[in-house]
Amino acid sequence: MPLNGNPLQYQDVQSILPHRFPCLLVDRILADGTSISEGRLSAIKNITANEPTFWTGHHQTTVFPGILMVEALAQSTGLLAHYFLKPLLPGEHYYFAAIHHARFYRSARPGDQLRMDVAFVRQRSGLARFTGRATVNGRRICTAEFMCARK
């Protein structure tokens, strides 16, 4: 297991995902809630007021955009795919293929810690299906289903 009971830090996440600041939306993979052998992964994103997403035009908004919550879930799914699915061959990548049933329940604001819990559902014909749930302090913020393609 890649975690060995320890969380993976930001640098570890950067070694797996191609995203970089400000587009990298996973700060850490948690050991608590993560079971790669069972197809589950938990990660966090600390939401801070100085992120570029909060500055739009001449005023500041204090709600973390919902689409970025979905992106954070998708990136968490990519991390799970990296560890759970068969190793990639040279030149292969996982690509985000689809999102289904995205639902938004509450807002996330600066100071919140967004927890993303993603789980593998099934794989067929090179497409893998995952579910994701984002919470803040245990309260559901966003849910979605994802598909990724191996190419």
- Whole-model pTM: value is 0.89
The one catalytic residue among 58, 59, 93, 101: 58
pLDDT band at 37 (very low <50, low <70, confident <90, very high): confident
The count of other CB atoms within 10 Å of the CB of residue 7 is: 16
The hierarchical CATH code for the domain 10-150 is 3.10.129.10
Among positive and negative, which fits the CA dihedral 137, 116, 48, 109? negative
Q: d(Cα 141, Cα 106) in Å, to the nearest integer? A: 5
- Give yes or no for a contact between 132 and 147, defined as CB atoms under 8 angstroms apart: no
**Per-residue pLDDT tens for 86-104?**
888 888 888 889 999 999 9
Is 58 part of the annotated catalytic residue set?
yes
pLDDT band at 1 (very low <50, low <70, confident <90, very high): very low
For the chain, domain boundaries: 10-150
Higher-confidence residue of 61 and 117: namely 117
